[in-house]
Structure 1
Amino acid sequence: MKKLRNNLIGIEQGDPVLFSDFEDGGEMWTGRGQRERRRRISFSEPFRSPPAIQIAISLWDMDATTVIRADIASETITESGFDLVFRTWGDTRVARIRVGWTAIGELVDPEDWDLY
């Protein structure tokens, strides 16, 4: 359990299109080549410590003639951002993906003293 120890709690959200490969015959749409996409998400201001991240696919556009396989994750979470990661495998064809995310965590209190 993440325990928040101050009264300055920050919530930041986003909903970026991670990729749109059907327009230009990209690897996710053709079903060949690299099957992972990453995007570094930077927060508008840093949190005191790495925040809790909630992610969900808010739009998926998949080929209905293949099996739909998807893995989505937040990785490399720091005070200033995280990596949004989408993976697929096999013959799955993905036209585009949009991912909603929410970060919740403590903010730096301007009245805190930094002794080091």
Structure 2
Amino acid sequence: MLDRAFMALADPVRRAMVARLSRGPATVNELAEPFAITKQAVSKHIQVLEQAGLVTRTREAQRRPVHLDAAALEAVTAWIDRYRLDAERNYRRLDALLAAEKKGPTR
């Protein structure tokens, strides 16, 4: 799942769509508005996001809104956060080491 999610999010158009969907469901037309691409291209981007498990579509009468799957996005975020926290710990240790070096040798 992570591989497909990161592949899907590698594209700036799809990242913008995810950002838009974080504010609520949207139709293909609504998702297409800010882009100078065809609705067919927008639909293909949505398919990639669906295959990655990041969005779903429902049917409401004539509308087929696209919804962000918050749980899937949270799984990606949790994976990133794990490594971000490890990196922050390493940077804090490095900062402490550099601060000790700057003070000079200890007796």
TM over 0.5: no
Query: Which structure has the higher relative contact order (CA within 8 Å, separation 6+)?
Result: 1
| TM-score with structure 1 setting the length | 0.26
| TM-score with structure 2 setting the length | 0.28
More helix by share: 2
More strand by share: 1
